[in-house]
């Protein structure tokens, strides 16, 4: 069993913000696989065959709470999850799969690492950067994409959807070799 976890913030006002690209990608995966969501594990949760889908409603900074509940209920190992999140250090249009690593200043990843006690999980980082000069990171990640950025983002999310599907069929090294680059 594998869990695909998209990070974001649950309120409508955050729906199209840079911080919500994890939710956006999960929405595409859910639609493609006809997964119906319910509310469980402090999240919107869906299951199809042996794949679990989780969109934590705990807000970004407390994402680890929902992840721990899911892992405990299904007796998942930390290596059974992939977390999808934004990355301000990567240019918009860029995807980067990572096998493990630090939180890199991302509060959602930091929460998961702190509450699970491990950073040994796979992740897909979706580039939303670069941050323009003189804009605080909080304002940038909680800001909406411009029209031009939305077009590039939508194309990137389509590639990312295929990449996650391939990841679930193969392994992280295969998708790293194929998808870790700037696509648009």
Q: Residue ranges per domain, the chain?
A: 2-182
Active site annotation includes 106? no
User: pLDDT tens digit string along 59-96?
Assistant: 999 999 999 999 999 999 999 999 999 999 999 999 99
pLDDT for 158 equals 98
User: pLDDT tens digit string along 11-68?
Assistant: 999 999 999 999 999 999 999 999 999 999 999 999 999 999 999 999 999 999 999 9
Provide the β-strand partners of residue 51: 2, 48
How far apart CA 54 and CA 58 sit, in angstroms, is 11
pTM of the model: 0.96
pLDDT for 179 equals 98
User: pLDDT tens digit string along 112-129?
Assistant: 999 999 999 999 999 999
Q: Is residue 5 classed exposed, middle or buried when 0-12, 13-18 and 19+ CB atoms within 10 A define those classes?
A: buried
| Confidence band, pLDDT 50/70/90 cuts, at residue 3 | very high
| CA end-to-end span of the chain | 32
For 96, half-sphere exposure in the C-beta direction (CA atoms, 13 angstrom radius) is 15
pLDDT for 44 equals 98
Of the residues 19, 103, 106, 183, only one is catalytic, namely 19
Strands of the sheet with 122-129, listed across from one edge: 38-40, 43-48, 51-56, 2-6, 81-91, 122-129, 94-98, 181-182
pLDDT for 12 equals 95
The architecture (CATH level 2) of 2-182 comes to: 3-Layer(aba) Sandwich (3.40)
User: pLDDT tens digit string along 98-116?
Assistant: 999 999 999 999 999 999 9
pLDDT for 138 equals 94
């Amino acid at each position: 069993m594998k869990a695909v976890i998209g990070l974001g913030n649950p309120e409508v006002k955050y729906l199209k913000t840079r911080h919500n690209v994890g939710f956006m990608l999960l929405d595409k995966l859910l639609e493609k696989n006809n997964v119906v969501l319910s509310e469980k594990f402090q999240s919107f949760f869906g299951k199809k065959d042996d794949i679990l889908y989780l969109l934590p409603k705990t807000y970004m900074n407390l994402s680890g709470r929902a992840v721990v509940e899911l892992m405990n209920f299904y007796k998942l190992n930390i290596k059974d999850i992939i977390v999808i999140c934004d990355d301000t250090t990567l240019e918009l249009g860029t995807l980067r799969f990572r096998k493990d690593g630090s939180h890199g200043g991302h509060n959602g990843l930091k929460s998961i690492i702190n509450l699970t006690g491990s950073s040994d999980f796979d992740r897909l980082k979706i580039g939303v950067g670069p941050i323009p000069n003189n804009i605080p990171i909080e304002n940038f990640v909680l800001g909406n994409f411009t029209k031009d950025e939305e077009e590039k983002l939508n194309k990137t999310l389509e590639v990312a959807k295929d990449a996650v599907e391939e990841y679930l069929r193969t392994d992280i090294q295969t998708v790293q070799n194929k998808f870790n680059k700037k696509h648009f």
